[in-house]
């Protein structure tokens, strides 16, 4: 390899590396850059559903209009799902007295198993049972965990794929801001 080609390759790598670093810097136009929300379906109405919670109550997404909804999909066999649950619980506890609701939709597992994991994880937010998989299909859930952020009008604001630290200071500020809108 000639020295000119080596220098060219190094220069290209430096430029690409520099651009990657700049794209990871805080952007004032994106309120929570560390959460990396995907704009897929942004601005679309959230898919309507009614699901039964672990305590037997029917929960309707439409019935939560006027609240910011944190809609997460999970399985007990998903390590990343279980890892993020404590931070979701802390976020919920910080914001539950505001116009904020967490709904954790389990993807078709047996109710006894889900109840066991809810106890182990110590969650107090509603866990909903998508036994038929219809809600997962509506939201095109794959892979998990997947979380949709829905505004007070029932509009999708964004989607997060993978585990997040949901109770980070930036995240809490963002959800507080959404609740005030």
162: its two tokens: 């993978």
32 Cβ neighbours under 8 A, 6+ residues apart: 170, 171, 173, 174
Does 3.40.30.10 match the CATH number of domain 34-180?
Answer: yes
Q: Crossing angle, helix 79-95 and helix 111-121, to 10 degrees? A: 60
* pLDDT digits (tens), the chain, 181 positions: 555 544 444 443 334 333 333 333 333 344 444 456 776 677 888 999 999 999 999 999 999 999 999 999 999 999 999 999 999 999 999 999 999 999 999 999 999 999 999 999 999 999 999 999 999 999 988 888 999 999 999 999 989 998 999 999 999 999 999 999 8
The string of pLDDT tens digits covering residues 146-180 is 999 999 999 999 899 989 999 999 999 999 999 99
pTM: 0.79
Residue 157 to residue 130: CA distance in whole angstroms = 22
Distance in Å from the first CA to the final CA of the chain? 59
């Amino acid at each position: 390899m000639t020295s000119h080609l080596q220098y060219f390759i190094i220069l290209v790598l430096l430029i690409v590396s520099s651009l990657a670093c700049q794209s990871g810097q805080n952007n004032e136009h994106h309120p929570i850059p560390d959460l990396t929300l995907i704009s897929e379906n942004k601005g679309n109405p959230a898919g309507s559903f009614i699901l039964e919670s672990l305590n037997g109550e029917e929960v309707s997404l439409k019935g939560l209009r006027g609240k910011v909804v944190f809609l997460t999909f999970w399985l007990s066999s998903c390590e990343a799902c279980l890892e993020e649950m404590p931070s979701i619980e802390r976020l919920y506890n910080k914001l539950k007295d505001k116009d904020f609701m967490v709904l954790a939709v389990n993807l078709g597992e047996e109710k006894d198993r889900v109840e066991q994991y809810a106890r182990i994880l110590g969650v107090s937010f509603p866990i909903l049972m998508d036994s038929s998989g219809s809600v997962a299909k509506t939201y095109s859930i794959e892979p998990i965990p997947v979380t949709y952020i829905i505004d007070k009008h029932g509009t999708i604001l964004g989607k997060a794929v993978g585990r997040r630290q949901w109770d980070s200071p930036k995240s809490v500020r963002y959800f507080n801001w959404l609740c005030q809108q």
